[in-house]
Amino acid sequence: MQEMIESGLLVVVTILSIILLCIGQGKNSGMTKKQKVMLWRILIATVLLLGLQLLGAEAFDQLGAAGRWVRLALHLVDYLIIGYDILKKAFKGILNRQVFDENFLMAVATLGALALAIYENGEYLEVIAVMLFYQVGEWFQSYAVGRSRRNISDLMDIRPESANLEDAEGNVSVVDPDDVEIGSIIVVKPGEKIPLDGKVVSGESTLNTAALTGESKPRFVHPGSEIISGCVNGDGLLKLRTTKLYGESTVAKILDMVENSSLKKARAENFITKFAHYYTPAVCIGALVLAILPPLVLGGGWLTWISRALTFLVISCPCALVISIPLSFFGGIGGASRCGILIKGGNYLEALANTSIAVFDKTGTLTRGVFAVSQVSPANGCTEKELLEQAALAESFSSHPISKSLREACGELDARRATDAQEIAGHGVRTMMDDSKITYTKNTGTGTVVYVARDGQFLGSVLIADEVKEHSKQAIAALKAQGVRTIMLTGDSEAVASEISGQLGLDEYHAGLLPGDKVDQIEKLIAEKRPKENLAFVGDGINDAPVLSRADIGIAMGALGSDAAIEAADVVLMDDDPAKIALAMRIARRTKGIVYQNIVFALAIKAACLLLGALGIANMWAAIFADVGVMVLAVLNATRALYTKDLVKKDKLD
């Protein structure tokens, strides 16, 4: 029965290898040359081992005394085909005084088992099968890691290869982006990546910002529009005047951040690294004791206990933990970046998962940070259109943001109709009107109120307010659903803060704060929170750098227009959507869950199989499952962190 199972497993590996090799021949297979070579080795070693099993020892017995050595030689060839690189790495580790790793464990275990098989003239199947299935597991691990890296590389394929530089005579030459100076004119053709940050000087087009924001909605640009590098130009020809060198551009900073994210390890990653550092030598000593002590104490049975010790070594390989834990965090960071959420390291991903308090700046974070007309209240005998038109005419020569919002609300406007305009500092604009002795109706709305009169007659009032972002209310609701306490800090008045807080459903707010006051509030909230809970501050990354730095985790909004956001924060949202904060926390919490699932699963299986191996109940086939099987399952589980479609869908439904 066991021989049928063993042969069946070899047939399955053979068929799987052939299928994967066929897939690997395609251009889009994603397999590296090294992975294809490994598949060929697995296939050849499996077919040779299957053939030797089908022949059986009896076929070699017919050759007489030489039959034993021919059989050994063929099995040694098979062993070296599948395991020569493991032996090579183990030997190099010994030379470099870095002995205790999985390569050393596999080399000692299989060479020891091979020596026992030669001594007993026994079966070589288990020896080669252990190495074979270990390499199958290594291939799956390599492919999973490679796939995760490719997904992130494809997503972050925003590095420009060249720039079309236009000289003073209008001639265009292709140059390296690093060679383009500030103030140069570059030409961006349809379908090309924007190589440097700049301002449109001519042309109109749409930009695909999906690689930066995770959103497919195109962004329309025209002369005067600010453009960041990394976007893809649509169907129009654009000419840009560069505003930054390539090394200081948005795309360069993003790529640097993503590439260095693996250097900032989470506590779980550091724990596994330290664990493996002590664990591997410990199990080697344990295997040595298991091989020597029982025969000395109980007497005899050396081969039995040596065999158990070798099985113990195979079971003890820490591959599942060493590989799957970093892969989980890497996948979580990659999955978040596909949604336009850049997390600077596994430590920040882990901190985000433990966040229970989210503190928001108001302007530019929960609100757009721009003034807009929110209410038009005409007096008797005046229409809304007429009221807006008169207000816009009065403000047609002012550069104040409120004036701009009135002109935008009015639409088309002939500024020549406005005459005798006078702007009085601190009092607004007066044109063809005298605001004294005019009876008016007070507007009690929250925001900035503009009162309009003409020829001494009150026409009405216009309320100007900072607009709440489209998804702010959804963002707050999603965070509260996850048990996160939501707080707003603002320098605005009590009335404005109260209205925004009530509109969004915040847990609490603090108004009238100066930048220093915000830091004091954060200090107070940090002192009040429970141990192991984290506080996140969400700001625009420009004026909130001190608070972003003081919080347990800083989240920057509006990265499309802010260098300070990328520099100051631990997490950067590549668009202005606050709803991405809840999504980032979902991704972080699921990643953390996957990490702990793998830790518990791997350690539990290892502990059980180590005990069974020491007692002689588990053989080499059980060792293969405890090592390779657990590693493959843990790696496959870890790759789930990369896929976020279900979380994005849940966010949209919420």
CA–CA distance, 594 with 585 (Å, rounded to integer): 14
User: Does position 124 have pLDDT exceeding 50, yes or no?
Assistant: yes
Contact at 8 Å (CB) between 195 and 228? no
Q: What is the 3-state secondary structure (H, E, C) of 37-83?
A: HHHHHHHHHHHHHHHHHHHHHHHHHCCCHHHHHHHHHHHHHHHHHHH
* Strand ranges for 362-456 from DSSP E: 367-378, 421-424, 428-431, 448-454
Q: Is the pLDDT of residue 240 over 80?
A: yes
Q: How far apart are CA 224 and CA 201, in angstroms?
A: 6
Query: Quick one: which H or E segment has residue 568?
Result: helix 563-568
The SS3 call for residue 485 is: strand
Q: Spot the catalytic one: 78, 197, 361, 577.
A: 361
Average pLDDT, stretch 423-447? 60
Secondary element (H or E) of residue 200: strand 198-202
Given this model, what pLDDT does residue 317 score?
74
Question: Phi/psi class of residue 211: alpha, beta or left (left: φ > 0; alpha: ψ in -120 to 50)?
Answer: alpha
Q: Is 361 a catalytic residue?
A: yes
Q: Would the pLDDT of 46 be above 80?
A: yes
Tens-digit pLDDT profile for residues 77-87: 999 998 898 88
State the pLDDT at residue 587.
92
Say what angle helices 102-120 and 302-316 make with each other, to 10 degrees.
150
| More reliable by pLDDT, 349 or 60 | 349
- Whether residue 131 contacts residue 49, with contact meaning beta carbons closer than 8 Å, is answered with no
pLDDT category of residue 8 using cuts at 50, 70 and 90: low
Mean pLDDT lowest among 160-164, 261-265, 464-468:
261-265
Q: Are 393 and 413 in contact (CB under 8 A)?
A: yes
Closest among 435, 410, 449, 579 to 504, alpha carbons compared: 579
Q: Contact at 8 Å (CB) between 540 and 572?
A: no
97: Cβ contacts below 8 Å, ≥ 6 apart: none
- Please state the rounded mean pLDDT for residues 262-268: 68
Q: Which residue has the tokens 């904060």?
A: 581
Q: Alpha-carbon distance 387 to 395, whole Å?
A: 12
How far is residue 311's CA from residue 610's CA, in Å, rounded to a whole number?
A: 9
Three-class secondary structure of residue 594 per DSSP: helix
How far apart CA 343 and CA 24 sit, in angstroms, is: 32
- Asked whether the predicted pLDDT for residue 426 surpasses 50, the reply is no
Nearest one of 237, 222, 128 to 172, comparing CA atoms: 237
Residue 182 and residue 242 in contact, taking contact as beta carbons nearer than 8 Å:
yes
- Select the more confidently predicted residue: 183 or 373: 183
Q: Which carries the bigger pLDDT value, residue 243 or residue 319?
A: 243
3-state secondary structure 259-299: HCHHHCCCHHHHHHHHHHHHHHHHHHHHHHHHHHHHHHHHC
What percent of the chain has pLDDT above 70? 82
**Length of the chain as a residue count:** 654
What are 575-592's pLDDT values in tens digits?
778 888 999 999 999 999
Burial label for 44, CB within 10 Å (0-12, 13-18, 19+), is: middle
Mean pLDDT over residues 14-27, rounded? 65
pLDDT at residue 313 in the model? 77
Per-residue pLDDT tens over the stretch 508-520: 999 888 777 888 8
pLDDT single digits (tens) 139-182: 877 777 676 666 555 555 667 888 999 998 889 999 999 889 99
pLDDT of 165 reads 93
pLDDT tops 80 at residue 567: no
Residue pair 183/245 in contact (Cβ under 8 Å)? The answer is: no
Q: How far is CA 129 from CA 9, 50, 91, 526, 631, in A?
A: 10, 10, 21, 56, 16
**CB 403, CB 395: distance < 8 Å:** yes
The confidence score (pLDDT) of residue 16 equals 65
**pLDDT above 90 (res 183):** yes
Check if the beta carbon of residue 45 is closer than 8 Å to that of residue 81: yes
Which pLDDT does position 504 carry in this prediction?
92
Q: What is the pLDDT of residues 600-651, one digit of tens each?
A: 888 888 888 878 877 777 777 777 777 777 877 888 888 888 777 777 766 5
| Higher pLDDT pick, 348 / 563 | 348
C-alpha gyration radius of the chain: 34
* Three-class SS state of 337: helix
489 SS3 class: strand
> pLDDT value at position 613?
76
Question: What integer pLDDT is reported at residue 200 of this predicted model?
Answer: 94
